[in-house]
Amino acid sequence: MAGKVFFKVSMSLDGFIAPESSKDLMGQQWMELQQWIFPTRFFRETLKLGEGGEEGRDNDVMRETFERTGASVMGKRMFDAGERMWPEEAPFHTPVFVVTHEKRDPWERPGGTIFHFVNDGIKTALDRAREAAGHRDVRIAGGGATILEYVNAGLIDEFGIALSPVLFGSGIRLFEGVDAGRVALEPIRAEPTQRVTHLTYAVHKR
């Protein structure tokens, strides 16, 4: 039985998930947006930063998201930013399918991450990711434009938002341009922690 297609992102209170320019990734606002992730034990384990780190629900969410994911899909903008910032052992440990016009051979990293470059659209990338994931879920990793394409195409089953107490004022909005007339949401759960509120929704067609 095929798994679900989902995304999980951190979002500011005013609806932004990233700065406008990828040059501002790792800047103060972005670091504040992601501040629930960095102290967790799972984050330290995954990036091999040594022992320690916090347990608790934030840590559980990180681990659960990782364990359910059998393959990921991302856009070229996210890949380009990550290629500069990820450690040699990229933090996916599964196949990743990059939606791009660039033709490029698969790029294998230590730890089980293999980036495949897909030149014929989001549906093909998802089909390949589903095949690679088997019974596990496919995560649409980002960025915002790629997530929106999958939402508007009716290809998302579920999503999670870590709502962070930070304001961006400008940047990339998660749902800018969403075809709201086609998308109905069913709240699944809301879990506040000390740093964020984890919101989970099932996605249905109207």
Number of Cα atoms under 13 Å in the Cβ half of residue 103: 0
Domain span holding position 46:
5-205
pLDDT along the chain (206 residues), means of 10: 91 94 74 93 86 94 97 95 88 96 94 96 98 97 95 97 95 94 96 97 94
For residue 61, the domain's CATH number is 3.40.430.10
How confident is the model at residue 6, as a pLDDT? 98
CA 138, CA 58: separation in Å to the nearest integer?
21
Total domain count, the chain: 1
CA dihedral 34, 35, 39, 44 (to 10 degrees): 20
How confident is the model at residue 195, as a pLDDT? 96
Which pTM value belongs to this model? Answer: 0.94
How confident is the model at residue 21, as a pLDDT? 75
How confident is the model at residue 201, as a pLDDT? 98
